[in-house]
């Protein structure tokens, strides 16, 4: 993006921002308009704040350049120009990222699906560790986590766990977590101290708005059954668990966490819509893949994205060749450093295509 075209776009954004401010000050504004305009204003505040700081920095640079030949102030102006130039470059990069096309799903809530992969009981234990990691991260972000379906093992692990995470910009933070996570550690049952390698798969599905996915009831096969826990023990004595099969696609979703059949059905329908939405999203990505210089953040579930090595206390993200020696902190929910690095990487890749 050339600087001239970027500045032109920023001027247009600021003009829109001022128009919204004026609309909000109108005496006859309706409550619904207040809500809409306030949201639009909030969405633009960051880019406007940085743009105005950038513009002020450009003015400061111009003023200092005019003083370079002044025998009394020239040296001071030269020194300040160095700092101002660094500040300009930093702000310009931030603006280029903010002007990238927004992912329409970034503000959505998500469904988190984690399944134990290769490695038997150790894989199931690792799947449970990952769910706790994301739950603690969500807690730190003040997001709401709800378990919708869980299939436990007798050893304290989980074959599969599905939950919903609701909050501000959840998808934007978690969308790069989909893929195969690998763990290397000595299982508690291993007497010889031999390190085992196990895997678990993580899938992040954006929850669509109701208007984005339409489902014909005639395409659904709905079964009820009795929810059960590990070892066949019944969670309750009524057929409250729900299994929904979408006949055209063959997708099956189930929910047994609630004692209410009605609530389980509502949760299962939300999950089904998210899976159908994901299929449509993947179709769209595939159609445009050839036209893009790079297709980043695809979230392929078969892709090995990260290794958790307990012996060395390290976590390595293979997509960006980043290794951090803080495995306990990260598994305890301190994911920001990893997630921010991934976001920066993919934003930089996107900039190359503009």
pLDDT digits (tens, 9 = 90+) for 267-313: 899 889 999 988 888 776 665 444 333 333 444 456 799 999 999 99
Mean pLDDT of the chain: 86
Q: Which residue do the tokens 């769910």 mark?
A: 131
Dig out the tokens for 317 from the structure. Answer: 């993200």
Res 240 pLDDT > 60: yes
Dig out the tokens for 217 from the structure. Answer: 């009831």
The domain locations on the chain are 3-98, 110-290+297-352
Give the separation between CA 4 and CA 333, rounded to whole angstroms: 42
Give the model's pLDDT for residue 247: 92
Dig out the tokens for 118 from the structure. Answer: 């290769």
Report pTM. Answer: 0.72
Q: Which is more confidently placed, 84 or 213?
A: 84
Architecture of domain 110-290+297-352: 2-Layer Sandwich (3.30)
Give the separation between CA 177 and CA 317, rounded to whole angstroms: 10
Rounded mean pLDDT, 196-213: 88
Q: Which of 1-5, 119-123, 186-190, 240-244 has the lowest mean pLDDT?
A: 1-5
Give the separation between CA 149 and CA 146, rounded to whole angstroms: 9
| Torsion angles phi and psi, residue 111, rounded to 5 | -105, 135
Give the model's pLDDT for residue 230: 44
Give the separation between CA 28 and CA 23, rounded to whole angstroms: 10
Residue pLDDT, tens place only, 36-74: 899 889 889 999 999 999 999 999 999 999 999 888 888
Give the model's pLDDT for residue 312: 95
156: left (phi over 0), alpha (psi -120 to 50) or beta: left
């Amino acid at each position: 993006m050339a600087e001239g075209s970027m500045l032109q776009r920023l001027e247009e954004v600021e003009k829109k921002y001022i128009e919204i401010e004026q609309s909000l000050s109108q005496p006859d504004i309706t409550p619904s308009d207040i809500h809409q305009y306030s949201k639009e204003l909030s969405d633009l505040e960051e880019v406007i704040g940085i743009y105005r700081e950038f513009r002020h920095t450009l003015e400061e640079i111009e003023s200092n350049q005019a003083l370079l030949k002044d025998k009394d102030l020239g040296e001071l102006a030269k020194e300040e120009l160095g700092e101002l130039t660094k500040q300009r470059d930093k702000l310009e990069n931030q603006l280029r990222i903010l002007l990238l096309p927004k992912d329409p799903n970034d503000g959505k809530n998500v469904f988190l699906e984690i399944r134990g992969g290769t490695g038997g009981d150790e894989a199931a234990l690792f799947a449970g560790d990952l769910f706790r990691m994301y739950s603690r991260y969500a807690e730190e972000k003040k997001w709401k986590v709800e378990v919708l379906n869980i299939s436990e093992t007798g050893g304290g692990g989980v074959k599969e766990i599905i939950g919903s995470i609701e909050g501000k910009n959840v998808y934007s933070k978690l969308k790069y977590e989909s893929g195969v996570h690998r763990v290397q550690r000595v299982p508690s049952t291993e007497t010889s101290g031999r390190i085992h390698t196990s895997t678990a798969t993580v899938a992040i599905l954006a929850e669509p708005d109701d208007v984005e996915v339409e489902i014909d009831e005639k395409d659904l096969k709905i079964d009820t059954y009795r929810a059960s826990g590990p070892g066949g023990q019944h969670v309750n004595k009524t057929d409250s668990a729900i299994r929904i099969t979408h006949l055209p696609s063959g997708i099956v979703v189930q929910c047994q966490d609630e004692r209410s059949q009605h609530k389980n059905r509502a949760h299962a329908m939300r999950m089904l819509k998210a899976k159908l939405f994901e299929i449509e999203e993947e179709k769209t990505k595939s159609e445009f893949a050839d036209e893009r210089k790079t297709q980043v953040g695809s979230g392929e579930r078969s892709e090995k994205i990260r290794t958790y090595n307990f012996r060395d206390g390290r976590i390595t993200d293979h997509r960006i060749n980043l290794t951090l020696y803080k495995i306990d902190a990260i598994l305890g929910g301190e994911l920001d450093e990893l997630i921010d690095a991934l976001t920066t990487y993919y934003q930089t890749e996107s900039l190359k295509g503009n």
